[in-house]
Amino acid sequence: MTAPVFVVPGERLAARPGPVLVDGPEGRHAATVRRLRVGEPVELVDGSGTRGRGVVAATGKDSIHVDLHDLAVDPDPAPRLVVVQALPKGERAELAVEALSEVGADIVIPWQAARCVVQWRGDRAAKSLARWRATAREAGKQARRARFAEVTEPASTTDVARLLAGAALGAVLHEEASAPLADVQVPPAGDVVLVVGPEGGVAPEEIAAFGAAGAGAYRLGPSVLRTSTAGAVASAVVLSRTARWS
């Protein structure tokens, strides 16, 4: 049976040797939902690349203590996968972030594209960003990642163009592009930046700005995917051509 994964602050893993406390919502889940018992195997991650493996040493009402026998830090991802995700509508936003996190995106950047129906302003922006970040955390945990995807502050088109200008590879998904993403040469290091447009597509002025920044336009295949799934599929295509998936 695969050991369950729980998230703890990084300083607790750094402070070993000794039992590591798992409390709060994670501790309640371990003690009252999973009903873990002394001696059962568990994994602890901090979401920033550190993973510990051990066994339950003691249980409480809403917490457990874990004796770690193995601790490792994942190397920095190379190349680093950055996905610029145009704002989807409704539940599809969380679906997009969830899938990107599970596939292996390292950074997810919300993008207020010209043709986005959704507008992030004021309290709505703060709440939406918090949901994206919570989704990335939970999806990273579900996918057993030690390093969770980072969800940044929202970006403008100017911000995205600046990011593409400094990327090792910049790729904009576009249904009318002739070059297939599957044929792209992925660099072994640096940032690979994928831009995923909204349901209405990337506007011509955005394509022009990104092209001027050095990004190419690519298609995924003969069918047009929704914005909530296109990023995850494109990420899988890119990662399959790197040592990260070998």
Question: Which own/partner contact pairs does 26-35 have at CB distance under 8 Å and 24+ positions apart?
Answer: 27/60, 27/62, 27/63, 27/64, 28/62, 28/63, 30/4, 30/6, 30/63, 30/64, 31/59, 31/60, 31/61, 31/62, 31/63, 31/64, 32/61, 32/62, 34/4
Domains in the chain, please, with CATH? Answer: 5-73 (2.40.240.20), 80-245 (3.40.1280.10)
pTM (2 decimals)?
0.93
- Residues paired with residue 111 on neighbouring β-strands, in sequence order: 86, 155
Average pLDDT by consecutive 10-residue portion of the chain (246 residues)? 91 85 95 94 96 94 93 94 95 96 98 93 92 96 96 97 98 94 96 96 96 96 92 97 93
Q: What is the pLDDT of residues 123-176, one digit of tens each?
A: 889 999 999 999 999 999 999 999 999 999 999 999 999 999 999 999 999 999
Burial zone of 235 (CB within 10 Å; 0-12 exposed, 13-18 middle, 19+ buried): buried
pLDDT score, position 1: 66
How many Å is the maximal CA-CA distance in the chain?
A: 60
- What does the pLDDT read at residue 84? 98
Structure confidence at residue 122 (pLDDT): 87
pLDDT of residue 44: 96
Query: What is the pLDDT, as a whole number, of residue 17?
Result: 73
Residues 115 and 203: beta-carbon distance below 8 Å: yes
Instruction: Supply the pLDDT for residue 158.
Output: 97
